[in-house]
Amino acid sequence: MITPEIQWIAILPEIALAAGAAAVLLIEVQWKPAANRLGWVAGISFALAMAFTIVQWLTASDALAVGQIGSLLGFSGMVLMDGFAVFGRLALLAIMGLGLMSGWRFVTGLGRRGAESIALILLATAGFSIMIASNNLVMMFLGLEVGSISLYVLAGMTRDTSRSDEAAMKYFLLGSFASAIFIYGVALLYAGTGRFDVLGMRGFFSGVIVTAPAVILIGIALVIVGLGFKVSAAPFHSWAPDVYQGAPAGITGYMAAMAKVAGFLAIARILITGLPQYEQSWAPVLAGVAALSMAIGAFMALVQSDVRRLLAYSGVAHAGFIMTGLVGGTFTGMLFYVAVYALQLVGAFAIVAAVSGSASSASDIDDYRGLVRRSPVLAVSLAVLLLGMAGLPLTSGFVAKFGVFAEAWAGGFEWLVILGVLTSVVTFAFYLRVIVMMFMEESESDLAAPSTPVRWAVGLAVLGTVLFGILPEPLLRLAADAFPL
Amino acid sequence: MSLLTWLILVPIAGALVIMAIPREREELHLPLGIALSALPLALAGYLFYAFEPVPGFQFTESVPWYEPWGISWSLGVDGISMPMVLLTTILVPIALGASTGIKNRRKEFVANTLLLEAGMIGVFLALDLFLFFVFFEAILVPMYFIIGIWGSDRRRYAATKFFLYTAFGSAFMLAGIIALALAHSAQAGSVSFALADLMTVELSQGTERWLFAAFALAFAIKVPLFPLHTWLPDAHTEAPTAGSVLLAGVLLKLGTYGLLRYNLGLFPEASVDAAWIMGVLAVIGIVYGAVVAIVQPDLKKLVAYSSVSHLGFIVLGTFALTSGGLQGAVIQNVNHGITTGALFLLVGMIYERRHTKQISEFGGLQKVMPIYAGFFLFMVFASIGLPGLNGFVGEFLVLVGSYATLPPLAIIAASGVVLAAIYLLWAYERVFTGIPEKEENKALSDLSPREIGLLAPLAILVLVLGLYPNILLDKIAPSTEQVLDHVEASTGYEVPEPGRLGDVFVAGDGR
């Protein structure tokens, strides 16, 4: 019997994050340091995870250059080190860094329980990171659950407010339900193919013709439903507005962005890599979900009076736009979109937390009245981020929309692109409402200046939005190179 | 970097300079902004001087932006875009000079105006459809803020309406650009968004018509063509004076320019087929705009509706597909920018004094403000198209040119000239003639030297272009002839005999 080779490098980023989480909890118990010290621990594990990811990236490009694909299959093919996984890890780590910065006031405001929230943030990242890197669907499910459960707890960190309670409860119940549907779908795919690993499924289908693929088709549908819930695509989006509104604003952006990135990468890996032979079956379903998400998200956001609910519904619309990039069976547009949107989302919620308070509370659109007088920097930053989400040229959002629309058009989904550009105009309408409030209304009240970490998080998000809008080349090339095995 | 890149970058740099000046030094922002906007004017002046009257693009440059997508920073100028660049750079300093009334957040106002200038110049210079779209859409933001922050009472509504209307149109154009580029890459095997490459795409009749419609919708909203004009009266009326001047002077021209450059250039077959439809819409706009202008009680709204009417002439000339029509369209772009820009300035000046734009509030101003009345009457005559002034040249060329191919429409359009005389002269009569009755009107001060300084250059341009239009037409004609050649070469269409060259004013060797 041969002992399986253990390629530690394949999971070192996750180990760094999980060890960081454990260290934060242990140090808290032993020494009870100030939250800032714990922040350093989180920072170190972030830096280590980032470094290991970059090593993986170099390993992957070396291996691909010489055609040694086998060396990218870690743990007997359980975990992959392909460009796809590396891209996803980089995105997740970037979100985590920004999320920690923008949520720092919330974390320190929790007092002793701040350590728990730091540990949960690190753990959630580790979970989602393993999810997007795994080739094996059971492994993927484990990662999904580690990440999701951490997020459920984070949503309910401010237990004293009923809204946060409600958000956490709703998120937990519906989220578990969605996870169950996903694992059921995985089971049916296993029943149909006898394989748990994505690459194995692809190999299986290239060899045989399944005459009655009902089991497989139902499995595909259930996987789409389960992951569609995680990315808040319509019609599986009903939890999103309540959770976005109820969860502590400081980390809502992190939670939302995390789930979106991991969910979309998982959908892409399972459907496009694992089941390309069934593209005729799943592409129209994705297109339908995308169309519904764009329409429902855009029109529901029009009537929201709370900025967090508005961002939640706009997130539903964005789930639709991102999914538009998948219907043609391509990755690049989706990867670019999900990365730049995550950046905008974290930045926008950092500002929401600074304006409305970082704990869970209402963030009525009236709070933003005349924001440009009270805090010009925050107002201009939020305007840039919102226009970026709206997809105005010279922001990253435009390049992203252009990418997914071009891919969908090339894939033969012209109607979806036309619906997409039209709903984009509808999204302009509600983003402009916030901008009108901030720039064209007057206000007398004052606003405390945002803390330094928040300023950094917002600054980086704005910089990315503008930079990738004018010079999209580095990120686009990275996304184009980040194909899965 | 060459001249055209500088033309775009200099205003952006100017905006950054303005933003760098502290808010407290507010006396600096406006003068410095005017000084900075003189730089692009100087560059554009050199461009006009160095521009050769030959067909094709000049001063071209191209730098890849993102090669896998085939997008590039491609700029160039020809006889159709050069006058528009010149017009833009002339109007921006004047618009800034007319903004002394803006006290609130002046720094941001000046910076926004300079960014707007960069965007407008970019639209006219872009030779890559991706780049063109970026500029076309990006200018919405500064204009949105100019209307929405510094406008009058209903500014938020007007700004949002302006933004959404235009974004709606460009959404279809974006889909069209993607479809066209993909069709090109399927045929040529390489991805490109360059105008020259996309002009070579072979499209089926159905596809070409759909794409024509997608582009035409975006431009028709911008022009605006009846029945898509409803954003215009709101935006014009609510915008501050500088905003109205630039909106009427340049932004509307993005639509007529786009129809000429992109619809005729990319979809010649569909353009020939749609000439009648576009012509009919243009003529409806001419008559409708004029009739509605007659009954406006608000002076600014009257000028706004007169734009709907005048822009109809430009579209009619474009789709007449004759030498006269196209030359008339291009030169009328410039003329309308000058005269309507001046009329909006004049309305703004009286509004600053009386804080009303209602025609019924005035009367007998001739006696109180003779210089003001003089300028107003002069611009009214230019706008009506009095021979010897610039408006005559453009409208005459359009009417002659369109009579060759669309005779019934030309005849109806001619009535627009008469209607213009009615609404403008009647408005003049009610505002300026008679004896001043209202006490407030008797005490009005006449124009200050600054205000005369703003109007005088425009008045001189009206005279120069009216008396010697060949100064521009010589440079326009080769490019419009090239457009006609392209349409003829790619379709079975032939410009009827009296429509091709030999028209009055057409530049030639013998002149």
- Burial of residue A415, with CB atoms counted within 10 A of its CB: 0-12 exposed, 13-18 middle, 19 or more buried: exposed
Where do we find the tokens 């764009």?
A294
How far B318 CA lies from chain A's nearest CA (Å)?
28
* Closest-CA residue to A329 (of A292, A284, A279): A279
Pairing, β B71-77 against β A79-80: unpaired
Which of B253-257, B363-367, B496-500 has the highest mean predicted lDDT (pLDDT)? B253-257
Distance CA B231, CA B239 (A): 12
Task: Output the pLDDT for position A360.
Answer: 54
Any A CB within 8 A of B181 CB: yes
Q: Does B164 touch chain A (CB under 8 A)?
A: yes
Quote the CA–CA distance of B150 and B292 in Å, as a whole number. Answer: 27
Whole-number average pLDDT of chain B = 88
- Cβ of B174 within 8 Å of Cβ of A402? The answer is yes
Q: Cβ atoms within 10 A of the Cβ of A356, count? A: 19
> Which amino acid type is present at position B84?
M
User: How far is residue A411's CA from residue A283's CA, in Å, rounded to a whole number?
Assistant: 10
Q: In this model, does residue B511 exceed pLDDT 50?
A: no
Side chain identity, residue B298: D
Paired residues of A80 in beta bridges? A73
pLDDT of residue B1: 62
Instruction: Please check whether residue B171 touches A, CB under 8 A.
Output: yes
**Contacts with A394 from chain B: Cβ below 8 Å:** 134, 138
pLDDT of residue B497: 67
Are A439 and B182 within 8 A, CB to CB? Answer: no
With a CB cutoff of 8 Å and minimum separation 6, the contacts of B103 are none
Q: Write the single-letter amino acid at A379.
A: A
- B76 φ, ψ to 5°? -175, 165
| Tokens 């970019």, residue located | B122
Residues B246, B249, B255, B258, CA torsion sign: negative
How many Å apart are CA A249 and CA A246, to the nearest integer? 8
Count how many Cα atoms sit within 13 Å of the Cα of residue B279 in the half-sphere of its side chain.
26
- Please give the Cα distance from B108 to B112 (Å, whole number): 6
Range 331-390 of A in CB contact (< 8 A) with B? 387
Tokens of A428: 């302009």
pLDDT tier at A4, thresholds 50, 70, 90: low
Angle between helices A239-246 and A249-268 (to 10 degrees): 140
Which has the minimum average pLDDT: A70-74, A118-122, A215-219, B359-363?
A: A70-74
Token reading at B118: 């960069």
Name the residue among B137, B167, B182 with its Cβ closest to that of A410. B182
How far apart, in whole angstroms, are the C-alpha atoms of residue B349 and residue B339?
15
End-to-end CA distance of chain B: 37
Which among A421, A432, A472 has CB closest to B175? A421
Q: Which of A65-74, A339-348, B107-116, B257-266 has the lowest mean pLDDT?
A: A65-74
Instruction: Using an 8 Å CB-CB cutoff, list chain B residues near A477.
Output: 68
Cβ atoms within 10 Å of B46's Cβ, excluding its own = 12
Q: Which of B214, B171, B192 has its CA nearest to residue B67?
A: B192
Q: Which residues of A touch B172 (CB under 8 A)?
A: 418, 421
Helix runs in A269-306, H state only:
279-302
pLDDT at site B292? 92
Beta carbons of A442 and A373 less than 8 angstroms apart: yes
Size of interface A-B (CB pairs under 8 A): 78
In three-state secondary structure terms, B65 is strand
Buried b (16+ CB within 10 A) or exposed e, B74-84: bbbbbbbbbbb
Instruction: Tell me the percentage of chain A whose pLDDT exceeds 70.
Output: 97
Does residue B224 have a cis peptide bond before it, meaning omega lies within 30 degrees of 0? yes
8 Å CB contact of B148 and A439: yes
Backbone angles phi, psi at A75, to 5 degrees: 50, 55
Phi, psi of A303 (to 5 degrees): -100, 10
Least confident of A302-316, B253-267, B308-322, B352-366: B352-366
Summarize the confidence of residues B489-511 as an average pLDDT: 60
Kindly tell me if the per-residue pLDDT of A250 is higher than 90. Answer: no
| C-beta atoms of B68 and A425 within 8 A | no
How much is the pLDDT for B509?
40
Cα dist. A425→A326, B11, B131, B136 in Å? 21, 28, 20, 15
Average pLDDT over residues B11-17: 92
Give A-chain residues touching B175 at CB under 8 angstroms: 405, 409, 414, 417-418, 421
Q: Which two tokens stand for residue A365?
A: 């659109």
Domain boundaries, chain B: 3-499
Confidence of residue B365 (pLDDT cuts 50, 70, 90): confident
Q: Is B47 helix (H, G, I), strand (E, B) or coil?
A: helix
Residue B26 pLDDT: 79
Q: Does A482 touch chain B (CB under 8 A)?
A: no
Residue A71 reports pLDDT greater than 80: no
B134 touching A, CB under 8 A? yes
Q: Which of A1-5, A367-371, A446-450, B31-35 has the least mean pLDDT?
A: A1-5
Q: What is the mean pLDDT of residues A461-474?
A: 91
**Taking 70 as the threshold, does the pLDDT of residue A145 lie above it?**
yes
Q: What does the pLDDT read at residue B213?
A: 93
Closest C-alpha among A407, A230, A262, A263 to residue A327: A407
- What is the spatial distance between Cα B28 and Cα B35, in angstroms, rounded to a whole number? 11
Task: Identify from B12, B23, B69 which residue to disrupt to test chain A contact, counting A C-beta atoms within 10 A and taking the largest count.
Answer: B69
DSSP conformational letter for A2: P
- Examine residue A235 and say whether the peptide bond preceding it is cis (omega within 30 degrees of 0): yes
Contact B164 A480 (CB under 8 A): no
Distance CA B327, CA B400 (A): 11
Task: Judge whether B39 and B98 are in contact, CB under 8 Å.
Answer: no
Q: How many CB atoms lie within 10 A of CB A57?
A: 20
Q: Does A173 touch chain B (CB under 8 A)?
A: no
Among A409, A429, A436, beta carbon nearest to B148? A436
For residue B311, pLDDT over 60 is answered with: yes
Above 60 in pLDDT, residue B506? Answer: no
CA distance B45 to chain A (A): 29
Buried b / exposed e over B360-397, threshold 16 CB at 10 Å, is ebbbbbbebbeebbbbbebbbbbbbbbeebbbbbbbbb
B135, B174, B181 member nearest A421 (Cβ): B174
Q: State pLDDT tens for residues A332-352.
A: 899 999 999 999 999 999 998
The pair of structure tokens assigned to B284 is 């409806």
pTM, to two decimals? 0.92
Based on the number of CB atoms within 10 Å of its own CB, is A174 exposed (0-12), middle (13-18) or buried (19 or more)?
A: middle
Question: Where residue A279 falls among pLDDT bands split at 50, 70, 90?
Answer: confident
What confidence score (pLDDT) does residue B75 get? 92
Token pair listed for A193: 């193919």
Contacts of A392 in chain B (CB under 8 A): 137-138, 140-141
Q: What pLDDT is recorded for position B100? A: 84
Closest CB to A440: pick one of B140, B149, B174.
B149
Dihedral sign for Cα atoms in the order A404, B185, A479, A484: positive
pLDDT tens digit string along B430-485?
A: 888 888 877 877 888 888 888 898 999 999 999 999 998 888 888 898 898 888 88
Mean pLDDT of B49-74: 88
Three-state SS for B157-215 is HHHHHHHHHHHHHHHHHHHHHHHHHHHHHHHHCCCCCEHHHHCCCCCCHHHHHHHHHHH
Q: Is a pLDDT exceeding 80 seen at residue A69?
A: no
| Distance, CA of A288 to CA of A284 (rounded, Å) | 6
Whether chain A has a CB inside 8 Å of the CB on B135: the answer is yes
How far the first Cα of chain A sits from its last, in Å, is 28
| B504: pLDDT strictly greater than 50 | no
A392 near B CB under 8 A:
yes
Give the pLDDT of residue A174. 92
